[in-house]
Amino acid sequence: MAYRYRCGECGFKTSWGTESQGERAQIAHYADRHPDLYPGGTVETNGKDPSGGIGCLGVLAVLFLLFVLAVSCSR
Ligand SMILES: [Zn+2]
């Protein structure tokens, strides 16, 4: 699993690396470019995450259940 941090203030992105590497690069970028702001932005992940697939299926299952519920209620 690789992590990339994206700055919330400008278009800066760290290079792909470990979570702690990206976090350090993001904090260093904020200290350099946005010294008066608390480090923020978003984290991107790239890699095989088994929980990601299960999460997607979980959302589909919930949507399906809501659909079934809506159909059964409209009768
Ligand atoms: Zn920035």
- Annotate 27-65 with DSSP letters as a single string: HHHHHHH-TTS----EEEEES--HHHHHHHHHHHHHHHH
The reported pLDDT for the residue numbered 9 is 93
pLDDT for the residue numbered 17? 94
pLDDT value of residue 4: 95
| Number of domains within the chain | 1
d(CA 25, CA 33) in angstroms, rounded, equals 12
Q: Which of the residues in the chain have pLDDT under 50?
A: none
Instruction: Name the residue range of residue 35's domain.
Output: 2-74
Q: What is the DSSP letter of 10?
A: S
pTM of the model: 0.60
DSSP letter assigned to residue 71: H
Cα 1 to middle of ligand 1, angstroms: 24
CA–centroid distance, 67 to ligand 1, in Å, is 43
